[in-house]
Amino acid sequence: MQKLGMGQAVNQALREEMHRDPNVFIAGEGVGVSIHLNPMFPTHGLLEEFGPSRIKDTPVSEAAIAGLAVGAAEAGLRPVVEIMFNPFFTLASDMIVNHAAKLRYLSGGKSAFPLVVRMKSGAGIGAGCQHSHNLEAWVAHCPGLKVVMPATAADAKGLLKSAIRDDNPVIFIEHMGLYFAPMPVPEEEYLTPMGQAEIKRPGTDVTVVTWSGMLGVAMAAAEKLAQEGVQVEIVDLRTLVPLDKETILASVAKTGRLVVLHEATRTGGFGGEIAAVVMEEGFRHLKAPLRRVTGPDIPVPASPPQERFYIPNDEQLIMAIKEII
Amino acid sequence: MQKLGMGQAVNQALREEMHRDPNVFIAGEGVGVSIHLNPMFPTHGLLEEFGPSRIKDTPVSEAAIAGLAVGAAEAGLRPVVEIMFNPFFTLASDMIVNHAAKLRYLSGGKSAFPLVVRMKSGAGIGAGCQHSHNLEAWVAHCPGLKVVMPATAADAKGLLKSAIRDDNPVIFIEHMGLYFAPMPVPEEEYLTPMGQAEIKRPGTDVTVVTWSGMLGVAMAAAEKLAQEGVQVEIVDLRTLVPLDKETILASVAKTGRLVVLHEATRTGGFGGEIAAVVMEEGFRHLKAPLRRVTGPDIPVPASPPQERFYIPNDEQLIMAIKEII
Amino acid sequence: MTISAEKMKEMLWTMVLSRRFEDELMDLCKIQGKIPGMMILATGQEAVGSGACAALEPEDVIITNHRSHNHLLAKGANPNVLMAEIFCKRTGCNKGKSGTLHMAVPEINAPCTSTVVGAGPPIAVGRAFAQQYKGEKRVTVCFFGDGAAAEGSVHEAMNLAGLWRLPVIFICENNVYAGAQRLEEHAPVLNLADRAAGYAMPGVIVDGNDAPAVYQAVVEAKQRALSGDGPTFIECKTYRCRGHGEADPQHYQPKDEISAWQEKCPVPRLRDTLQAQGVITAADFQDMENRAAAMVREAVRFAEDSPYPSPEEALEDVFAE
Amino acid sequence: MTISAEKMKEMLWTMVLSRRFEDELMDLCKIQGKIPGMMILATGQEAVGSGACAALEPEDVIITNHRSHNHLLAKGANPNVLMAEIFCKRTGCNKGKSGTLHMAVPEINAPCTSTVVGAGPPIAVGRAFAQQYKGEKRVTVCFFGDGAAAEGSVHEAMNLAGLWRLPVIFICENNVYAGAQRLEEHAPVLNLADRAAGYAMPGVIVDGNDAPAVYQAVVEAKQRALSGDGPTFIECKTYRCRGHGEADPQHYQPKDEISAWQEKCPVPRLRDTLQAQGVITAADFQDMENRAAAMVREAVRFAEDSPYPSPEEALEDVFAE
Ligand SMILES: Cc1ncc(C[n+]2csc(CCOP(=O)(O)OP(=O)(O)O)c2C)c(N)n1
Ligand SMILES: Cc1ncc(C[n+]2csc(CCOP(=O)(O)OP(=O)(O)O)c2C)c(N)n1
Ligand SMILES: [Mg+2]
Ligand SMILES: [Mg+2]
C-alpha cells in the first residue's frame, strides 16, 4: 500500500474529487502559489493540475474566504476553502457559524450549503498561541456544522472525500504534526463515512476516547501498558459531529472505565461532551471515575520545553489510566 | 430593598464604577444615543450623566470595538464595551480570544488587560437564530478569559462591579429575558466575587446546576417538586470561569444526583464540563446517571411555538429529575 | 437612456405594493399586536429596491439585509408567503423559522437575508463568484446600509470583488442612520461611495428616492459586470422615515428632518412624473393602489388562516440528508 | 524640513543594528539550526521601522506584526532580551512564551506584536484612544503589511480612527508580497494609500527604502495627530528581499526583481548620503558596524547562556492576580 503523510492524503482526496466533480473548487491564502514548495502539503501541485480558475489564491481575508464558500455553495458549487490556522477561524466564524450553519435552517430547508472548511491545527510547530489553538469544541457546539478530525492519513483521505460530497458545511481539521509521518493509504478510491468512530486498538480494561493528533499518544501508551498486562481500547472518534455515541458506549460497557484524551485545553473542551454522554447513557457500566488528559488551561507557549509541557503525552495518559484501574 | 430589572442593576453598577474610577469608559453601538428610550436597558441615561468623552457610540464594527478595548486596557483604562447580541461575538472573537485573552501571557505577565465585554444573550425575543445563540461555551474554553453569567439583578450588579475592577478580560453575559422582571437589589455598594457559585435553593435529593436565565426555570421546577416531597438543591454558577467546583461537588456529595440545566444547545455546551468535573472528582458520590436539560441541537427558530419549544422549561426539568430519583 | 413605460410602471407598482405591505405590517404590529419579534420597515426607501430590481432578470440574484421587505417584493416574492413568514406561520417561505428578519426566497433568486449587519456582501461575492465560475451571464446585487459599511466584512468583500472582477453590484442604502447613530456620528466621510476607488470599482452616487435613477445606475452597473469589468458600488442617498424598528420612538431624529424627507417620498414622486409624462393616469394609479390593497389583504388573510408550525418541526431542516 | 545630523545617524545606526541582528538570525536559524519555530526577517525593509521610530519619543507607542525585529530595535528594545526571547529563553522579554513571533516590549512602549495579520490596527486604535482620553500628547504608530490591508479589521480600525480623529499613524509596509501572493494577485489597486480618503485621512506614499523620507512623513503625521487632526495613512513602498520566512524558497519571486531591489538597499543608501553630506565618515560607518556586531554577539551569548524557562512556568501569566 502507498505510504503518505496526511497532507499528501488530503492532496489525493482533493485531486480525486476535483476530477470527479467540476463544481469543486479550492480557495484560500496560498492554496495555489505557496511559500511551501513541499509535496507533503495538502494543496501542493493543484494549481498546476487544475489551473487558476479552480484553485483560487485569495487575499488575506478570512471572512471573505468563508463568505465566498457560503455564497458559492448556495449556488450549487462545492467549495473547499482553507483557513490557514485554527485560531484564524475566529475571523471566519461569523460566516461559518451564523451563516453556513444556519442559512439552511433559515430557508426552511430550501437551500443547502455543501462546503468544506479545511484548517490546520495543533501545537508542536513552535509558533506559539496565535497559530496553535485547538478550537474544535467551538464548531462542535454549533448545530448545522459537521466536524471531522482524522487521526490517520487513510481516514483523512476517505473522510475528506465524504465531506466534499456531503450537502452540509463540514469543518475539516488537520493536525499539522500528521503531515510528515508516512502512513498506509489505500490507492483506490474509497469513502469513509462521517459519524463513525473506529476502534483503533481493541482492549478490555479501559476505554480511551481520542481524536486527531492524540491517537499516536494513545497508541504509544497502550503499547506500554500492554506490557504490564493492561489492555487499553482506543476509540478514535474521527468525527466529532455527528458523534458516534454507540461505539463509545459499547466500549465503555465493555471496559467500565473511561479516559478522554485531547490536545485542546481542558476546561470546556470536547472531552466534557464525551463525559456527559457516557454519564447519561452508560452510567450503569462505569466502575471508576473519569480521567481527562488534555492540554492545560493555558495558551500554547512558544518555548520548546513549555510547548512540550503543553502537549499531552503517553506518560500522562498512563498515569491517568493507572489511577482508575 | 429596591426592585430592579437586571438591566437597571447593570446600569447602577456602571454608574457607580464610572463615578469611582475615571479610567472606566463605555463603548459600543448605541450605548449613548439608543433606539431604546427605556430605563430598563443597561446603558440608559449614561450619556447624559457622563458625556460623550466617556460614553462612546461606535460604528457597527465589532472587531474595532473589541480592539479598542484591548488597546485601551493595555494603557491602563478600564473599558466596558458592548457587543449587542451574543452571535455577533463571532465578529469580535479574534480580538477577544487571540488578543485580550493571550496578550498578557505573550507579554510574560508584563501587561494586563482589564476590560469587560458585555453581551446580551438568550432566546425568547422572537428575533431568531442570528440574534439568539448562547455561546458561553466558546469563551469558557479560552484560557485568559473570565466568564460571568448572572441570574439575578443583585448578582449582576455585584459581579459587574467586580468584573470592572478585575485586571483580566471578563466576558459578562446578560440574559435579555431578565431585563424586565424587577428583583431585589441592595441599594448600597457591594462587590460579588467572581468564582463563587451560590446555592439559590438548598435541597437534599438532587443537585441542579444552572446559570443565567435558566435559574427561574430551576426554581419553578423545584417549587413544584417540593410539593411532591422532592427537595431540589439549585446551584447557580454565576461565573463559569473561574468555576466553583467546590460548591458543585459539595452539593453532589450531599444529593448524589446531578442535572445540568442550560439554555445553550446541548452538544458541546458547558454542561459537559460540569459533567466531567463531577465524574472526575465526585464519582463516588453519584447514585444515578446524569441528566442534561438544554436547548436542542438546532438554531433558535423564530416562530413562537418553536421558540418556546427551544427554550428548556420546568416540565422538562421535572421529568429529567424524576428519571433519576 | 430612456426607460420604457413598462419598466416605469413596474417600478411604481412594486413601490406601491411594498408601501401597502409595510403600512399594513405597521398596523398589524403596532396597533393589532399580531406579529411577534422585531418589525423593521423601509418606508420611504422603496425607490432603492424597486429601482434596482427592475433592472434585473429573474435569474439575477439579490442578497438582502434586515430591512428586506421592499427588496424581496420588488424581486418578485409572493406576498402571501412573505406575509405568512412574517407571521411565523408554517406556510411562510421558510416555514416560520426565519420570521421577518431573515427571509430566504431562493425561488426568486433571493436566497439569503442576513440580519448580521455587513454579512451580505461576502455571501454576495460568493454568489457572484459562482456566476462567474459557471459562465452565467448573471449578476448579484447586494443591499446593505450606511451602517454596514463600517463592518470589516464589507471591506473584505469589496476588495475580493474588485480583485476578481466579479459580477456583483453593491448597493449601499444610505438612509442617514445606523440604529440611533447619524451618519456623521458613525462614519468619517459623508459619501461612502468615495471608498469604491480603493477597490478599483466605480463609486456612483444616486438619489435614492428616485427610482428611475436607481434603475439606470443598476442597468449600467450590470452592463459593466456582464462585460467582465467587475463590480460597481452604488450609494443611494435616502432617508429612514420610520424608526430603526417599530419599537424605536425616533427621539433622536429631528421632526422637521423627517417631514422634509416625507415630502420627497419616492412613491408620489414617480407617480407624478409618470402622470405628467402621460404614462399613467390618476385612475391607473388608483388601480395600482387597489390591487396592492387587495393583494395585501389576501396575504394577511392567508397568513392569519395558516397554522403555526408544530413545535417538533423545529427539529427539521438543520442538516440536509 | 532639514533633518538633524543626530537623527540621521540614529536612523542609520538602528538600520545597521537591525541588519546585523537579522543576518545573525538567518545564520542561527538556517545554518546553525539553533532557533525553533518560524523565522521572519525584514532584510531590506529597515528604512521603514528605523525612519518611523526616529520620529517618535520613548513615550510614543508602536504596535507591530510578525515582521517585527527592526521595528522593535528601532524603538529602542534591548537586543539581549529580544535575542533571548527569539531563542525562547527565560531571560527573553516575555520569558520565552512569545518567541520571535509575538514579542511584547511594554518597557519601550511596544506593548503588542500580533501575528494575526491585520490585528494590530484595532489594538493601535485602542492605544491611541487611551492617549486621546488621557490628554497625552502622544501618538501610536501601527505597522502592517500590504497583505494585512485586505483584512476587515484594518478597515474597521481606520474607519474608527478617522471618525474619532485619533492620534494614530498607520504605516503600511508595502513590500510587494503577502506570503506567496504578489500585490497584483491579492489587491485590486496598486496604491493602498488610495484608501485613506475613504476614512477622511491623508494617504501619503513614500519611498520605503529611504529612511529620511519615512522619518519626514511620520514627523508630519505626528504633528497632524497632535494638533487634533487625526490619523494618517503612510504607504511605504519597499520590497521583501528574503522569503516570507526563512523556510520559503522564494521560487515565485523573480530573481532579477530581488537583485534589482537589493541594489536599492536602504542601508548603503543612507550611508552614502550621509558620507556625501559629510555627516559621517567611512570610519564612522565601520564603527557602527563594529558596534552592531559586538552588540549582536553579546546578545547571542546572552541568549545562549540563558536557561530555558521551566516547563511548569508555562502555567504562569495567564491571569493577573
Ligand atoms: C453585526 C451586527 N451588529 C449589530 C447589529 C444590530 N443592528 C441591527 S441593524 C443596525 C444598524 C444598521 O444600520 P444600516 O446598515 O445603516 O442599516 P439600516 O438599519 O439603516 O437600514 C444594527 C447596529 C446587527 N444586527 N449585526
Ligand atoms: C489572520 C491571519 N491570516 C493568515 C496568516 C498567515 N500569514 C502570516 S503573514 C501572511 C502574509 C502577510 O503579508 P503582509 O501583510 O504583506 O506582511 P509581510 O509578510 O509582507 O510583511 C500571512 C497570510 C496570519 N498570520 N494571520
Ligand atoms: Mg442606515
Ligand atoms: Mg507584504
DSSP assignment of B241-258: ETT-HHHHHHHHHHH--E
Instruction: Give the mean model confidence (pLDDT) for residues D40-67.
Output: 98
How far does A129 lie from chain D, in Å, by closest CA?
8
**Does B129 contact A102 at a Cβ distance shorter than 8 Å?**
yes
Mutate-to-test residue for ligand 2 from A35, A43, A60, A86, highest number of ligand atoms within 8 A of CB: A60
CATH architecture of D5-306: 3-Layer(aba) Sandwich (3.40)
| Distance in Å from the first CA to the final CA of chain A | 38
Q: Which D residues in the span 185-204 are in contact with C, Cβ-Cβ below 8 Å? A: 185-189, 192, 194-195, 197-201
What pLDDT was estimated at residue B192? 98
The amino acid at residue D197 is A
Average pLDDT over residues C51-75: 98
- Angle value at C-alpha D208, between D205 and D210, nearest 5 degrees: 110
pLDDT in tens, D239-264: 999 999 999 999 999 999 999 999 99
The DSSP letter of residue A274 is: H
Closest in C156, C195, C200 to D150, CB measured? C156
- Predicted local distance difference test score (pLDDT) of residue A226: 98
Cα C256 vs. chain centroid, distance in angstroms? 25
Q: What is the dihedral of CA B92, B96, B98, B100, to 10 degrees?
A: 150
Residues B132-158: what's their mean pLDDT?
98
Whether the predicted pLDDT of B67 surpasses 80: yes
The average pLDDT across D293-313 equals 98
DSSP state of A243: -
Pairing label, strands B291-295, B258-265: parallel
Q: A187 an active-site residue? A: no
Question: Tell me, what's the pLDDT at C72?
Answer: 98
CA-nearest residue for atom 5, ligand 1, is C117
Taking CB atoms and an 8 Å cut-off, how many pairs form between chains A and B? 166
Nine cell digits for residue A240: 466529532
Beta bridge partners of B2: B185
Q: State the DSSP H helix or E strand holding residue A172, giving kind and residue range, or none if neither.
A: strand A170-175
Alpha-carbon distance of C43 to C26, in angstroms, equals: 10
Q: How far apart are CA B197 and CA B238, in angstroms?
A: 6
How far apart, in Å, are the Cα atoms of C273 and each of B207, C12, C269? Answer: 72, 10, 6
Going by C-alpha positions, the residue among C75, C27, C28 that lies closest to residue C50 is C75
> Looking at the partner chain, which of C153, C163, C189 has a beta carbon nearest the beta carbon of D198?
C189
Name beta bridge partners: C171: C143, C234
What whole-number distance in Å separates Cα of residue C99 and Cα of residue C89? Answer: 8
Chain D residue at shortest CA distance from A84: D116
Mean pLDDT, all residues of chain C = 97
- B104/chain D closest Cα distance in angstroms: 7
Kind of pairing between the strands at D177-178 and D181-182: antiparallel
Per-residue model confidence (pLDDT) at position A53: 98
What Cα–Cα distance (Å) separates residue C134 from each residue in A15, A24, A250? 20, 12, 48
Helix or strand holding residue A195 (H, E): none
Residue of A89, A135, A138, A239 best to disrupt the B interface, most CBs of B under 10 A: A138
Specify the pLDDT at position C245.
96
What residues of chain A have any CB closer than 8 angstroms to a CB in chain D?
A: 29-30, 33-37, 57-64, 87-88, 91, 125-131, 296-299, 301-306, 308-310
In angstroms, the CA B78 to CA B160 distance is: 12
Q: Kindly tell me the number of DSSP H helices and DSSP E strands found in chain B.
A: 12, 14
What cell does A8 get?
Answer: 499528501
* Distance, CA of A233 to CA of A245 (rounded, Å): 15
Whether residues C111 and A67 touch (CB distance < 8 A) is answered with no
Q: What is the pLDDT along chain A (325 residues), one digit of tens a residue?
A: 999 999 999 999 999 999 999 999 999 999 999 999 999 999 999 999 999 999 999 999 999 999 999 999 999 999 999 999 999 999 999 999 999 999 999 999 999 999 999 999 999 999 999 999 999 999 999 999 999 999 999 999 999 999 999 999 999 999 999 999 999 999 999 999 999 999 999 999 999 999 999 999 999 999 999 999 999 999 999 999 999 999 999 999 999 999 999 999 999 999 999 999 999 999 999 999 999 999 999 999 999 999 999 999 999 999 999 999 9
> For residue B164, which phi and psi values (nearest 5 degrees)?
-65, -35
Nearest to A47 by CA among A67, A68, A25: A25
Amino acid A319: pLDDT: 98
Task: Enter the C-alpha cell of residue B247.
Answer: 460548591
Mutate to test the interface with C, among D146, D151, D154, D155 (most CBs of C within 10 A): D155
Q: State how far the Cα of C216 lies from the Cα of C204, in Å rounded to an integer.
A: 11
The residues of chain A that CATH labels 3.40.50.970 are: 2-185
Torsion on CA atoms A137, A138, A143, A148, rounded to nearest 10 = -60
Which one, of B31, B169, B175, lies nearest residue B95 by Cα? B169
Q: State how far the Cα of D187 lies from the Cα of C180, in Å rounded to an integer.
A: 34
pLDDT of residue D52: 98
C181 lines ligand 1 (CB under 6 A): no
Please identify, in words, the CATH class of the domain defined by A198-324.
Answer: alpha beta
In chain D, the N- to C-terminal Cα span, in Å, equals: 49
What 3 state SS string does C164-176 have? Answer: HCCCEEEEEEECC
Q: Which residues contact A301 (CB under 8 A, 6 or more apart)?
A: A128, A129, A307, A309, A310, B105, D96, D97, D309, D314
Q: Which of B37, B57, B61 sits opposite C249 (nearest CB)?
A: B37
Distance separating alpha carbons of residues A244 and A195, to the nearest angstrom:
5
From the candidates A29, A44, A99, A131, give the one annotated as an active-site residue.
Answer: A131
Q: How far is CA D15 from CA D8, D86, D103, D269, in A?
A: 11, 19, 19, 11
Closest ligand 1 atom, residue C178 Cα: 13
The confidence score (pLDDT) of residue D36 equals: 74
The span from the CA of A251 to the CA of A253, in Å, is 5
Neighbours of B158 (CB within 10 A): 23
> CA dihedral defined by B73, B75, B78, B81, rounded to 10 degrees?
-50
Helix (H), strand (E) at residue C52? helix C46-54
Specify the pLDDT at position A85. Answer: 98
**CA gap B232, B199 in Å, rounded:** 11
> To test the ligand 2 pocket, which listed residue (D100, D117, D143, D154) has its Cβ within 8 A of the most ligand atoms?
D117
Give the C-alpha separation, C204 to C193, whole Å: 6
CA distance D262 to D242: 10
First to last CA, chain B: 38
What homologous superfamily does CATH list for A2-185?
A: Thiamin diphosphate (ThDP)-binding fold, Pyr/PP domains (3.40.50.970)
- The single residue of B29, B62, B74, B174 carrying the catalytic annotation is B62
Residues of chain B with CATH 3.40.50.920: 198-324
CB contact under 8 A, D195 and C198: yes
Among C289, C211, C219, CA closest to C21:
C289
Q: Residue D30: its pLDDT value, please?
A: 86
Alpha-carbon gap, residue B139 to B125, rounded angstroms: 23
From B131, B175, B262, B285, the catalytic residue: B131
- Model confidence, pTM: 0.98
Q: Which amino acid is present at C267? A: V
Q: Tens digits of per-residue pLDDT, B19-46?
A: 999 999 999 999 999 999 999 999 999 9
Give the separation between CA A280 and CA A274, rounded to whole angstroms. Answer: 10
pLDDT of residue A193: 98
CA dihedral D299, D303, D305, D308 (to 10 degrees): 170
pLDDT class for D270, splitting at 50, 70, 90?
very high
pLDDT in tens, C7-46: 999 999 999 999 999 999 999 998 888 887 789 999 999 9
Partners of residue D187 in chain A, C-beta under 8 Å: 59
> If you compute the radius of gyration of chain B from its CA atoms, what whole number of angstroms results?
19
The pLDDT score that the predictor gives to residue D49 is 98
pLDDT at D35: 87
Q: Is A273 a catalytic residue?
A: no
Nearest in space to D123 (alpha carbons), one of B110, A90, C186, B100: B100
CB contact under 8 A, C163 and D186: yes
For the segment B255-267, what is each residue's pLDDT rounded down to a tens digit?
Answer: 999 999 999 999 9
Task: Name the interface residues of B facing D (CB cutoff 8 Å).
Answer: 25, 53, 56, 58-59, 61, 63-64, 66-77, 79, 94-95, 98-99, 103-112, 114, 143-144, 146, 167-168
Size of interface B-D (CB pairs under 8 A): 145
Taking the CA atoms of B26, B32, B35 and B38 in sequence, report the sign of the dihedral they define: positive
Domain ranges for chain C, please list them: 5-306
State the pLDDT at residue A131.
97
Ligand 2 centre distance from Cα of residue D118 (Å): 8
D128-185 tens-digit pLDDT:
999 999 999 999 999 999 999 999 999 999 999 999 999 999 999 999 999 999 999 9
